[in-house]
Structure formats: C-alpha cells, structure tokens
Amino acid sequence: MYPNLKTMKTTLLRLNNVLAALLMVILPAITNAQLSSLEFTAGAGNPSTSGATVASQAISFQANINNPVGTSFIPFLPVVTTTFSFSNQQYTSVPTSEIATGTGLSFGANINNAATDAASVSVFEKMSLISTPANNNFTSVANGTAGTGIDIATNRAVTVFSSVRPLYHSAAVTNSRYYYGDITITFSVPVINPVIQLVGLGGYFTSSGNTLGFSTELELASAGVTLQKISGSSELQVTSNKILNNAPSPNSTTGSGAATGSVKATGFVSQIKFKVYVRGDGGNTRWSSSSMHPGDLWMIGVSVGSSSALPVPVKLSSFTATLNNNKTDLRWSTATEINASHFVVERSLDGVNFSDAGMVFAAGNSTETLHYNFSDNLQTVSAAVIWYRLRTVDIDGMTEYSDTRIIRIGKMTEKNMTIQSFPNPATTELRISIPADWQTKKVQYELISLSGQIVKRVQANSSNQTEVISIATLAPGMYVARVSCGDQVAQQRIIKQ
C-alpha cells in the first residue's frame, strides 16, 4: 500500500510540473516573479452557502498571476486549503430562536435591527461586503509594498459574527472585555509568513439616544508565531500577540471606529489559534434591546506569497563542489526544511547515469540556514570529469533533485575547436568542426547549460570533420559545447537565440 501512495505523490508532483510547463506555453507573458501570491476568491469549490453555522470552513487558495497590479486567477496545484474553525465557545446557550447555532460565535450570521433572530449572510464573501474598506487598507504578501495586491471587489474572506445577545441575556456590564472562544486557522501544508486579512472589527448598538460601541479583538494562542501590522486603518493596533481596535468608541465603518487591514504572522506556520474577545466602550448600559439582534460582523482571510511563502520540502540556498587532492568536497546550505529526511549525494561519470555516493541526514524542520558537507574519495575513480547532484528525500519518500555540479580531475588535455554557426548566435543548428586527428574516431558532442545540466548529447562512432547538431528545441541562452575523444576534450561557449 505505501509504495503505491508514494507513486501517487510522485505522479501528482509530475503532473503539477507538466501543468506549470503548459501554463508557460499558454501564457508566455507570465514570469515566475508574477506568480507571486495565493489569495482567496470565488471558485475552486469554495463555499457559496450562508449561515448561521459553526461548521468549519475550508477555503482553497488560487494563484493571482499578475499580482499586485491585477486579479487574474488560475487554479493552484497541488490544492492548498485554509480551514477556519471554532472551539472553546463560552456562550452556547443563546436561544436558537435568536441564532440557529445557539452560540456567541458563528460563520455567516449578521445583525438584525428589526427582530431578535440573527440575519443571514454568505459565509465567504467579497471583502467589500461590510465596513467600506479601501484596497489600500490591505497588502497581499508579507514582503510586498504596503497597501497593494488586494482588490476588495474580487478578493474574498470568511464572515464571522460575534453576537452580543449573550451579554445582553447575562446583563453583563458594557465597559468590559469578554472571552468568547477560539478561532483556529489551519493550513493543509505549512506556510511561511502568511498575511491575515481583517475587515470591519467593530460594531454598535443605539437605544434611547445612547450608543454602545463594541469590537471583536484577537489574542494569539499559538507558539512560534509573532504578529506585525503591514497596512490598515488607524484603528487597527497590532502587537506581537494581539490584534486590537484602539478606537475609544468603536463603530462599524473603517476609519471611523472599525479596525481593518493586513497583519503578517511571522513564522513557519501550520496552524494559528486566536482567542476571541468582545470589548464594550460603556456608551450604553445595555448590549441590546428586546427587539433586535446586534453584534459585530467581521471578516477574516489569508494570503501568502506563492514562490517564497509556500515552501518546497527543502529550499537549497547553495550547493558547491570543489576538488581537494584526491577527493571532492561537497557543501550545501538550506534556507528552509519541511519534513526532510535525508540527502543523497549522487555521482555520475557520464553526466547521465547517476549512482549513490553517500548520504547525509537532514535536520527535518527548520526556517534557519543550515550547512551540510560530504567528501567523496576519488582514488579509485578513473574518469576525467565527474558530475554531482543532490537528491533530497522527505519523510514521505518524495524526492527532489538539485542542479548538477561538475568536477574535472585533470586527466584530459584541451584542443582548439572551431564552432561555426549559421548565423551566430545559432538558432536551429550548430556546426562543430573537430581537430583533424579526431576524425573517423568515436567522438562525443555535448551541450551543457550554465547550471551544469547536459541538455543535448550526440555520439558519432566515426566522426566527420564537421558535425551538425540540432538545437531547435533548446531554450534561448548560453551553453557550453563540449566535444571529447578518448581522454581529450575541448569546449567553447555558444549562444542559442
């Protein structure tokens, strides 16, 4: 059973790579830098129902391919979900005639100024739904320009209702702060520095000419995470572990008493839990009248940077190979590790067929730079050139390969080689002329990318003076043309246009 699961994971990974390649063909203007954010929007099977409900809400990210200047979304594979859920609800005896869930916290409920039963709203709505926010209140990615990347008419968030009817029923004083329960954000894969989007923390109730302002506030209950305000209204006050509304008289309008904006959760995050509080300003002696259902309707969403914030199992920051007498010293560093098991150093004598040269155990999980090394003894190796690469293996058995590094042992001598291309730079064909004493012998022709990968290999058992190599399928760029005959080698850089 387990080998089949590993095969399925490898197949899914390959399908994702194929999809990425197809997107580069279908959307040639897209660059990696532009695939910069994963955001909440409609589609992708995201909720379209209304509340009130306490059922957990799972939202699938979609990739915004022209963030921060536009909102062109495509599916992101493999699917990454963010789930919002309640726990430890403190008020669970609200009459169900007033709210179907009987709880102080719910998804998809709303105030009702005409009756005591809570109104209903979609659990996943546009961020423009409430509080009159502006696009520049929000920032889509942790390292982005503040006030950019979110379009409130397109981006969406989960609606949360903090009903104040429980406080009305218990005759709670109105100038205090009350713990309502917990809201937990769980990511299907760990992310780095997610951005929490908040809309409209704040509400009010008016009777007999007296207005009670109140606001939902959040306190971090998760270890290993710190909070930082990126952008937002003046009411949004963020400390390392609290998200507060600092308005003396909270209201429901952003900039006039409601807290709205973007908060970075700094850390390597699988789950974030907040304690939810409701604070009153004492402007009225009651939380509600007997004929209405007030409360704080607010919204919460998440966005992350797709290229850097959604980490691969291991992110290599460097990988070098250096010849040191009769051994190769290989050194590499990782910027992040997620469920990493070990590294396998692979060696090849022909650049194609690799075998294991050694293994080094990984730290497992880390967001700090870690350094590794391995020495490969070459005393019994007779080849003139050796290729190395790293195979990273995670705890589920999935693998990922590094770029190739090349070591020359020094047993080869160089010859002059003339490359003639028509035109130069070459576009579809490359003509390579070889030294006279190589003609009629077995000669190997290779094209190598600047990262060390052999992208083309042709072997002539009885070589002509000039061989024609097709390069039509190669990506534009600079390559090294290397020709070898026995233990002799010659090479020259060429440009593919």
CA distances from 371 to 334, 398, 471 (A): 7, 22, 38
**Do 363 and 323 share a domain, yes or no?**
yes
Considering the domain architecture, whether residues 219 and 341 belong to the same structural domain is answered as: no
Mean pLDDT computed over 19-23: 37
H-run or E-run covering 107: strand 105-107
Encode pLDDT of 66-84 as tens digits: 888 888 888 887 788 999 9
Cβ pair 40, 122 in contact under 8 A: no
pLDDT in tens, 204-255: 999 999 999 999 999 999 998 999 999 999 999 999 999 999 999 999 999 9
pLDDT digits (tens, 9 = 90+) for 289-328: 999 999 999 999 999 986 544 556 688 888 988 888 888 9
The per-residue pLDDT for range 372-422, each reduced to its tens digit, is 999 998 877 767 778 889 998 877 677 788 888 878 775 444 444 444 544
377 and 437, same domain (yes or no): no
Q: Please tell me whether residues 194 and 97 are part of one structural domain.
A: yes
- Portion of the chain with pLDDT greater than 90, in percent: 52
Task: With respect to residue 393, please indicate whether it lies within any of the assigned structural domains.
Answer: yes
What's the chain's average pLDDT? 85
Q: Give the pLDDT score at 310.
A: 54
374: which residues sit within 8 A by CB, 6+ positions away?
330, 345, 357, 358, 360
Is 10 part of a structural domain of the chain? no
Structural domain includes residue 34? no
Question: For residue 422, what is the domain's CATH number?
Answer: 2.60.40.10
Residue 412 pLDDT = 43
Structure tokens at 250: 């909270």
What pLDDT is recorded for position 386? 85
Q: Per-residue b/e over 407-425, b at no fewer than 16 CB within 10 Å?
A: beeeebeebebebebeeee
In a domain? residue 16: no
pLDDT for position 450: 74
pLDDT on residue 440: 81
Instruction: Please count the structural domains in the chain.
Output: 3
Tokens of 485: 């005959």
What's the domain range around 391? 314-408
Q: Summarize pLDDT for 254-290 with one digit per residue, the tens.
A: 999 999 999 999 988 889 999 999 999 999 999 999 9
Give a yes or no: residue 369 inside a domain. Answer: yes
Same domain, 99 and 211: yes
Assess whether 282 and 166 both reside in one domain.
Answer: yes
Residue 17 has pLDDT above 70, yes or no: no
Q: Which amino acid is at 33?
A: A
| C-alpha pair distances (Å), 49 with each of 77, 124, 133, 245 | 24, 8, 23, 29
Residues 87 and 193 in one domain: yes
pLDDT number for residue 410: 56
Residue among 184, 264, 268 at smallest CA distance from 221? 184
The CA distance from 92 to 166, in Å, is 9
Q: For position 364, what pLDDT does the model report?
A: 83
| Structure-token match 């279908």, residue found | 26
Of 379, 408, 437, the residue at which a domain comes to its end is 408
CB 53 within 8 A of CB 123: yes
- One domain, residues 421 and 403: no
Q: Is there a single domain that holds both residue 397 and residue 460?
A: no
Q: Among 303, 335, 350, give the residue marking a domain's end.
A: 303
**What pLDDT, on the 0 to 100 scale, is given for residue 396?**
66
* End residue of a domain, out of 277, 303, 329: 303
Q: Is residue 237 part of a domain?
A: yes
Same domain, 474 and 342: no
Task: DSSP letter for 53, please.
Answer: B
Most confident of 162-166, 391-395, 423-427: 162-166
pLDDT of residue 36: 64
pLDDT in tens, 433-483: 777 777 788 888 888 887 778 888 888 888 876 778 888 888 888 888 888
Which pLDDT band holds residue 42 (cuts at 50, 70, 90)? very high
Single pTM value for the model: 0.63
Which pLDDT belongs to residue 131?
98
Residue 351 falls inside a structural domain:
yes
- The answer to whether residue 43 sits within a structural domain is no
**The pLDDT of residue 198 is above 90:** yes
Do 403 and 421 sit in the same domain of this protein? no
Same domain? For 253 and 110 the reply is yes
Three-class SS state of 236: strand
